Chain A
Amino acid sequence: MNNNLSADVVVIGAGVSGSLLATRLAKAGKSVLLLESGPKVSRDALVERFRASAFKSDFMSPYPFSEMAPQPRYTPEPNGYLQQTGPHAFNAQYIRMFGGTSWHWAAQLWRYVPNDFRQHSQYGIGKDWPIAYDDLEDYYYQAEVIAGVGGAPDNGSPRAKPFPMDAVPASWLQQRVTDRLAPDFTVLDDCTGRNSRSFDGRPACCGNNNCMPVCPIDAQYHGGLAAAQAEASGVNIITEAVAYKLEHDIQGNIVAVWYYDWNKVSHRVTGKTFVLSANAIETPKLLLMSVSDKFPQGIANARDNVGRNLCDHPAIGVTFDVDEPIWPGRGPVSPCSIGQFRDGEFRKEHAPFRIDISNASQVASVTKELLQQGYFGKKLEEQIQFRAARRLSIKNAMEQLPDPNNRVTLSSKKDPLGLPTPELYWSVGEYEQRGAKVTRDNYDAIAAKLGATNIKHSKEGEFSNRQHITGTLSMGLDPASSVTDAFGRAHDHENLFMVGTGVMPTVGTCNVTLTAMALALRTADKILEETQHA
């Protein structure tokens, strides 16, 4: 056992949120120790793994799996890491690795709309946040500057300053879809951290169409860059360090975190302030594992709120063949979307949503489809050309209301380190089902405007995850219904903070990372303010 590790601030989880917070604290002169359960792997190794993979549509396949820091996998078969007990499977994907889950994403960095923060007072449904949009506006901008974000300016989220980056030019697909859906549907550039010019030592996008699962040239921002920046800023990062217990003193302040290295040697790390940023499933797991006589239900869980209100965007999709060649596969994979259903009085009745239009290459999927149908020879190649040119794939990001019954708990199953694996209960409610119906009607209207044939909706009543996991560490003013305060501080533990998407009380209708980044920067400033005064 090693008892000599100590720092002013101990951060657990080297994803984008923890890394940004650690960087800010280190630059302000704090000693910071960052523990990451997974390994450190280079981008070029990940790209090679992608190209060698038999499962290129599985975005987890390039990312190494370790039995010591297991992560959910579904291909070629589900590995059962997440125990499912609810009526709907919460098939979360996340990466336990230096840089975290935003390694495999399309760098979507959206702001919430202002009414997302006052949903209950505005529409009588869901939750209000303990902060308002204006409290976060400057932090949103700070995060956008770090990541180099560009997008359509008039997208429902007011801005005090313009985007720091111009949007990447629209693909032919985006141009045609935008023209043909107007004026009924307004297609906008997505807000993305994708370089349209050289920025931060990284090149401009050159259209590799591989944003997910990994950009081959680092033209888009991701957590691996954030973690590398933390390291360059003087943060002491220890990888392959699996935190398994928080230790507290008689007052309930956290005094140490215990972790196993991958040889199952236990280490104790002391600090003055502790920050959990191990994602919205692994962080509650750590809290629930940290039981003591004083906190028999786990740290920060005196009122049984840890792990509750698990949310994602329960998504439905549609594919069809457009009546003209639009050639998905040229340029970024997720360039544009329809945002007109994100907010409005209808939120009293059904879930709001955003409609994402994919530009991912369809060659592999249509080829598989055609082979299953028995095509061969010249006819096969004609059909590959025809369908790959016309196949459009659309998916929504629909808000799910927080429900305390949807939750993360500990299963009875153990991983090879002897730590319990997460158990999830997830149900998609009537509000979301009504939102799905409206989405589906709009899909049909979109398909009609594009002269679609071969229309295939996702199965009614089934929802896929968008991997925007929120809510399990929900911030709020009332300790009876939340885990942390408005700065991510645990209600019952003065020196314990949480960052990442888990602290977000609601999931909104957009990808959640920018909000998590903004909140992490705000929490970092709060820690600095308090500890400097101290």
Chain B
Amino acid sequence: MKRKHSRSKDLTAENPFAVIDKKEKNMKQYSRRGVLKVIGLVGLTSMAGKMIPLPRANAAMVEPNAALLANFIQVSRQLTLHETLDNTVSEALCHALNMTQERFFEGLTQLKTLLDANPDWLEQPVLRFPEAHVDAETLAKNILGGWYNGVVGKGYKAICVTYINTLANKAVSDKLVPPSFSYGPCGSWAKQP
């Protein structure tokens, strides 16, 4: 099927609706294979629910090396209290956070330093960093959001990194499967979980 998508570009200046089109066009779906080839990971990777052109997005970013990835895994262990975390998801989350957060690795290093220096912060019932470190608290919550809901970033920059492998799904896996997966034969859900 041929499309003349260039038409909307011509209309942008005169048609306010074309602005909407431009945003929607950013939600265009790219092939999962193409994305994974670039990112070198498994998992579901999408922006605003759809794939984005990663080479362009990555152009000006620091690539995670082994040390940065190790920092990410250590911080993730501290926040989730999971000693073992899926390596593939770790790497995918690290890449995705780097794509969606400005100066991610700088913030990650700062967060790691803070958590190492203040172990009592992780003994509270909820995350509550001192006022001066509100950005670090936000980053910690974003990292947790990636692990537990599989999504990082907001709005048009939101990326779904993983679905079935979220820690929230794993936390309830003795009772529930993720929506769109099956319970079994018709009525198998009728008994008490």
Chain A contact residues, CB within 8 Å of chain B: 47, 49-56, 58, 61, 64-65, 67, 70, 73, 76-77, 79-81, 168-172, 175, 195-197, 204-210, 216-217, 240, 262-264, 325, 327, 329-331, 360-361, 363-364, 367-368, 371-381, 384-385, 388-389, 413-416, 421
Q: A54-B46, A172-B193, A384-B172 are in contact. Are A204 and B186 (CB under 8 A)?
A: yes
Q: Is the interface of B mostly helix, strand, loop or mixed?
A: loop
Count of B interface residues, CB-CB < 8 Å: 75
Provide 8 A-B residue pairs closer than 8 Å at the C-beta atoms, listed in order of the A residue.
A52-B29, A204-B185, A207-B186, A327-B176, A367-B149, A373-B126, A374-B137, A413-B15
Residue of A nearest to B192 (CB): A172
A111 to B182, CA, bound (A): 30
Residue of A nearest to B137 (CB): A374
**With a CB–CB cut-off of 8 A, which chain A residues contact B119?**
none
A220 to B128, CA, bound (A): 46
Complex interface bits, B6-41 against A, C-beta within 8 A gives 1, otherwise 0: 011001000111101101110101001000000000
Distance from A329 Cβ to chain B, minimum over Cβ atoms (Å) = 5
Q: When the two chains form their complex, are residues B144 and A168 in contact, meaning their CB atoms are under 8 A apart?
A: no
**With a CB–CB cut-off of 8 A, which chain A residues contact B190?**
169-172, 175, 331
A311 to B3, CA, bound (A): 36
**With a CB–CB cut-off of 8 A, which chain A residues contact B193?**
172, 325, 327, 330
Contact with A79, one of B3, B24, B125, B185 (Cβ below 8 angstroms):
B24
Q: A51-B44, A52-B50, A80-B20 are in contact. Are A363 and B172 (CB under 8 A)?
A: yes
Distance from B135 Cβ to chain A, minimum over Cβ atoms (Å) = 15
Q: When the two chains form their complex, are residues B17 and A376 in contact, meaning their CB atoms are under 8 A apart?
A: no
Q: When the two chains form their complex, are residues A209 and B179 in contact, meaning their CB atoms are under 8 A apart?
A: yes
**With a CB–CB cut-off of 8 A, which chain A residues contact B167?**
381
Known A-B contacts: A216-B182, A327-B176, A384-B148. Give 13 more (CB < 8 A): A54-B151, A55-B49, A64-B29, A77-B156, A204-B185, A205-B186, A206-B183, A216-B181, A263-B2, A325-B193, A367-B149, A377-B79, A381-B167
Chain B contact residues, CB within 8 Å of chain A: 1-5, 7-8, 11, 15-18, 20-21, 23-25, 27, 29, 32, 44-51, 79-81, 122, 125-128, 137, 140-141, 144-145, 148-149, 151, 153-156, 158-160, 163, 167-169, 171-172, 175-176, 178-193
**With a CB–CB cut-off of 8 A, which chain A residues contact B51?**
52
Q: When the two chains form their complex, are residues B155 and A79 in contact, meaning their CB atoms are under 8 A apart?
A: no
Distance from B124 Cβ to chain A, minimum over Cβ atoms (Å) = 8
Residue of A nearest to B15 (CB): A414
Distance from A119 Cβ to chain B, minimum over Cβ atoms (Å) = 38
A337 to B128, CA, bound (A): 41
Q: When the two chains form their complex, are residues B79 and A376 in contact, meaning their CB atoms are under 8 A apart?
A: yes
Q: When the two chains form their complex, are residues B163 and A51 in contact, meaning their CB atoms are under 8 A apart?
A: yes
Distance from B56 Cβ to chain A, minimum over Cβ atoms (Å) = 19
4 nearest A-B residue pairs (beta carbon): A374-B126, A169-B187, A53-B49, A207-B183
Q: A331-B183, A371-B149 are in contact. Are A416 and B189 (CB under 8 A)?
A: no
Q: When the two chains form their complex, are residues B125 and A379 in contact, meaning their CB atoms are under 8 A apart?
A: yes
Q: When the two chains form their complex, are residues B27 and A207 in contact, meaning their CB atoms are under 8 A apart?
A: no
**With a CB–CB cut-off of 8 A, which chain B residues contact A421?**
17
Q: When the two chains form their complex, are residues A371 and B179 in contact, meaning their CB atoms are under 8 A apart?
A: no
A374 to B142, CA, bound (A): 11
Distance from A37 Cβ to chain B, minimum over Cβ atoms (Å) = 15
A327 to B137, CA, bound (A): 31
A80 to B21, CA, bound (A): 11
Q: A67-B8, A207-B182, A413-B17 are in contact. Are A52 and B172 (CB under 8 A)?
A: no
Distance from B10 Cβ to chain A, minimum over Cβ atoms (Å) = 9
Q: When the two chains form their complex, are residues B140 and A376 in contact, meaning their CB atoms are under 8 A apart?
A: yes
